[in-house]
């Protein structure tokens, strides 16, 4: 079975100096979660998605979202067959292993919502007929920062469907120099080789599912969630779906780190990426300049972690 180091080494051929982000993306994939990448254009969001599809042997499709993209472009549509008169289903772009929803927050709300059923249930329904998406299936959506021209914020219900929100950011000068040097001899993506197939990925996910979680860890996650639900700066805290996502991510991180049991450090490591985008600040908190990340840091620091043997 391929290990995490082999996969990450392939991803690093194309995405330079962002090891923590790559590891978090891999953890989310193993946890069967979807990824939202919020960042400015040109920092490697699409490159990371392409690198993951090549290294893991995934069927990849991409849609550049604009206001004229329709829900049928995503989920497909039915057409009458001229010979028989029967309706024939034409699958949409969602039928792949890795779907890149580029600049999702440029699309209309109706088109954004077309992703929800596939993301949550692994299927789409067209004209009353349900069609399962392939397995494995992951959505990587990119989002321009709020306030960019032609964008609108994703609704809270859709944000909650993403297991993690990541940001690449600008590279350090030394890493940017390395990237430019690599570009002189060709496209770094061309150097990535497939190191896994669907059977191996299923086996890895099964191994991550078996990672042991002590009851004290479960209680710790619940206490963190309850602290957010009662925090004066938050209208909405972490939902039960968020708590489930934290446990799934912690188990996958433990596997990536070579353990078959979860430690509190696993929860703390994945918590900001898994939870921050699910917080909804009060108007007073926004006016005072409080950020969701600052609230999360306070909750983590004020909630005692358990001693697990």
> What percent of the chain has pLDDT above 70?
97
Q: Which of 2-6, 18-22, 302-306 has the least mean pLDDT?
A: 2-6
Query: Over the stretch 81-91, which tens digit does the pLDDT of each residue have?
Result: 888 878 888 99
With bands split at pLDDT 50, 70 and 90, how would you rate the model's confidence at 148? low
| CATH class label, 210-302 | mainly alpha
Query: Over the stretch 159-186, which tens digit does the pLDDT of each residue have?
Result: 888 999 999 888 889 888 988 888 888 8
> What are the sequence ranges of the domains in the chain?
4-198, 210-302
Which secondary-structure segment (H or E) carries 76? strand 76-80
**Residue 289: its pLDDT value, please?**
92
Q: Say if residue 153's pLDDT is above 90.
A: no
Is 203 strand, coil or helix? Answer: helix
Sign of torsion, CA 125 131 132 138?
negative
For residue 249, give the nearest of 229, 231, 275, 227 by alpha carbon: 275
Q: How much is the average pLDDT of 120-133?
A: 87
Q: Measured between alpha carbons, how far is 204 from 180 in angstroms, rounded to an integer?
A: 34
Are domains 4-198 and 210-302 of this chain identical in fold?
A: no
Q: Measured between alpha carbons, how far is 170 from 23 in angstroms, rounded to an integer?
A: 18
- Measure CA 225 to chain center: 20
Q: Which fold is adopted by the domain 4-198?
A: Rossmann fold (3.40.50)
């Amino acid at each position: 079975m391929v290990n995490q180091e082999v996969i990450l080494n392939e991803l690093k051929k194309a995405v330079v100096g962002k090891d923590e982000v790559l590891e978090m993306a891999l953890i989310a994939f193993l946890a069967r979660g979807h990824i939202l990448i919020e960042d400015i254009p040109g920092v490697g969001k699409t490159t990371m998605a392409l690198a993951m599809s090549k290294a893991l042997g995934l069927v990849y499709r991409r849609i550049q979202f604009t206001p004229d993209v329709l829900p049928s472009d995503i989920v497909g549509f039915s057409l009458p067959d001229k010979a028989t008169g029967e309706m024939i289903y034409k699958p949409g772009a969602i039928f792949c292993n890795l779907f890149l929803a580029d600049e999702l927050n440029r699309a209309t709300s109706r088109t954004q919502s077309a992703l929800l059923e596939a993301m949550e249930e692994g299927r789409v329904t067209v004209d009353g007929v349900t069609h399962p998406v392939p397995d494995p299936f992951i959505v990587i959506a990119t989002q321009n920062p709020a306030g960019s021209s032609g964008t609108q914020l994703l609704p809270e219900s859709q944000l909650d469907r993403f297991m993690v929100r990541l940001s690449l950011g600008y590279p350090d000068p030394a890493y940017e120099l390395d990237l430019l040097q690599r570009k002189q001899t060709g496209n770094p993506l061309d150097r990535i080789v497939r190191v896994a197939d669907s059977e191996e990925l299923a086996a890895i996910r099964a191994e991550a599912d078996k990672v042991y979680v002590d009851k004290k860890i479960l209680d710790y996650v619940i206490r963190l969630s309850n602290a957010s639900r009662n925090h004066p700066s938050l209208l909405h805290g972490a939902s039960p779906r968020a708590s489930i996502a934290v446990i799934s991510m912690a188990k996958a991180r433990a596997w990536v780190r070579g353990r078959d049991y979860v430690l509190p450090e696993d929860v703390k490591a994945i918590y900001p990426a898994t939870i921050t985008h699910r917080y909804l600040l009060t108007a007073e908190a926004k006016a005072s300049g409080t950020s969701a990340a600052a609230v999360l840091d306070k909750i983590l620091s004020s909630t005692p972690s358990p001693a697990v043997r």
